Structures are given as structure tokens and as C-alpha cells.
Amino acid sequence: MVGEVISGRYELEELLGSGGMSSVFLARDRLLDRHVALKVLHARYSDDDEHVARFRREARTVARLSHPHIVTVIDRGVDEGRQFIVFEYVQGENLKELVRRSGPLPAQRAVALGLAVAEGLAFAHAQGLVHRDVKPQNILLNEEGEVKVTDFGIARSLDVDRGLTQAGTVLGTSEYISPEQASGGVVTPATDVYSLGVVLWELLTGVVPFSGDSFMAVALRHVNEQPPRLLDVRPDAPPRLAAAVDRALAKSPADRLPSMQAFAQELRLCLDDLDSEQTAVGMPLPPLA
């Protein structure tokens, strides 16, 4: 498809990634002479009403979310039977690539990234939407260091169930899936709190708390096993931060932080503490009397 022009406007230049449902291309918007990210539903799903509805719903979902830490939808359409969505192009890397490149992050850096994600997700929750697939691959970092949450493809409305995946169906990514998601239970904002807790755990340690040979093996570990305490893996982590991450990873949604907004507030306080410590370390000694 590289080289094709979609809808007479978007020239596909490079395949950026491909998943089970769609592919994402770097494209040039000929009309506005700028780069965009263009997501195309795989051709095998073009006649599948459920996949088409989910794809269209993603465009409508993200179009409602105007926030500095959420990728912006620019356009949506159909070209010769191919469903597509156009997003702002975020040039940089995702957080998975960042961790692979640099290993565990300094606590201050990890908290600042987590806070930006929490603020974006808290806004989405306030609009009645749960992401359901929070993972480092869906958190983009542009060249200016700004965080953008993307891929609301399996997001679920909190108040409208018609046409959406119901309890009993498991969607998500195994390494970051919440216990209730893994067991086909009810999805709430606490689901995203758990997944962001896993992301922070990975940013701070360089690894995920649970791994395995298959989706189901990892998902069952989220359901049945307690994750290692963050301080056991990252002993130099600030205790308050470690406590927040450990609480986010509680098996029961009721035992986690009460909302994504509360998680953001706790991360903000952790960051304030770290900033204060950094300032204190860098302060010159007072002059001798």
C-alpha cells in the first residue's frame, strides 16, 4: 500500500506498524502539506460489521477527547471499501522503545511520564470512556518530550453498552491486563488504574511483573498471583511512589486508588517530593559564620 493515495489526499509513505485489526502508516496530507498517521482497517474485516463498527467507534471516541496528552483525530472516511482514520503524527518513540533503549528510568522521569498518562486517562474517564489497553506501546513520546496516549480501539463507554464487548469477552494485552479483564469481568476506570500501575512498574524496573509463553498463561498470573513488591525489585524507589504503584496493582478494583484522578494526584505529590529532593541536593552549602 505504500505509495497509494487514500481518499485523493493522503499519500502513504511508510508502514509504521501493524496489528490484528489494522495497520498504521506515515502519510503526507497533500492538502495541508504535513505528515499524519493513517490507520487502515485490514481488508479482511471490511465486510465484517462488528469490526467496522468498532473501528468507526474508535474515531468517534477519540474525536471527543481534546486533551494535551491524547492523540488528536483529524479525519475519518472510507476509500474503495477501506475504512481509515487519520491522527496527528507523533514523531518520536513509544515508552516500550524508551525502556528497551535505556533500561529502568530514574524515578523522577518515570513519575513525570506516568503523571502525564494519568492526566490524559483521567480526562477520558471524565468523558465516560475507559481505554482498556493501556500499555507502553500505546503511549507516545514526541521529540519535545510530550506524552500522548493513543489507540482507543477497544475503549468502552461507561454508560452505553449497545454494540460494545460485554463481560465474558477478554480483550487487552496480557502483560498489562487487569485481573477483572483477564477473567472476563466488568470493566471500570479501575481497569486503567491497574494497567498504568503495570506501566509504571516497568518504567521503574525495566521488566513487567508477569510474563509467560502465552496470552492465557500471563493473564492467569494477573488473576492468581501477587506481583513482586516494587521495593523488592527497585530498592531505591521512593517509598511513597512504591506504595502508590503497589496499590494500583491490587487484585480487587476496590483496593486500588479510588480513581485515575486520585492516581494522578498521588503521582503529582510523589513528583513534588522528588523535585524537592533534587533541589535540596543541588543547593549550595550555607556560608560559614
- Chain Cα centroid distance, residue 147: 10
| pLDDT per position as a tens digit, 257-277 | 999 999 999 999 999 989 887
Q: Which pLDDT score, from 0 to 100, does residue 171 have?
A: 60
Q: What is the mean pLDDT of the chain?
A: 87
Position 46 confidence tier, pLDDT thresholds 50, 70, 90: confident
Residue 182: count of CB within 10 angstroms of its CB: 20
Q: Which pLDDT score, from 0 to 100, does residue 10 have?
A: 96
Q: Please say if the pLDDT value at position 108 is more than 80.
A: yes
Residue that is written with C-alpha cell 498518562 in the block: 117
Q: Which pLDDT score, from 0 to 100, does residue 286 have?
A: 47
Q: Please say if the pLDDT value at position 114 is more than 70.
A: yes
What is the rounded average pLDDT of the residues 49-61?
Answer: 83
What is the rounded average pLDDT of the residues 73-98?
Answer: 92
Q: Over pLDDT 70: what percentage of the chain? A: 89
In this prediction the pTM is 0.84
Q: Which pLDDT score, from 0 to 100, does residue 203 have?
A: 98
Name the more confident of 232 and 280: 232
Q: Which pLDDT score, from 0 to 100, does residue 61 have?
A: 77
Q: Which pLDDT score, from 0 to 100, does residue 59 have?
A: 80
| pLDDT per position as a tens digit, 190-231 | 999 999 999 999 999 999 999 999 989 999 999 999 999 999
Name the more confident of 252 and 288: 252
Name the more confident of 164 and 70: 70
Position 186 confidence tier, pLDDT thresholds 50, 70, 90: confident
Lowest mean pLDDT among 56-65, 103-112, 177-186, 243-252: 56-65
Q: Please say if the pLDDT value at position 282 is more than 90.
A: no
Residues designated as active site: 143
What is the rounded average pLDDT of the residues 76-91?
Answer: 91
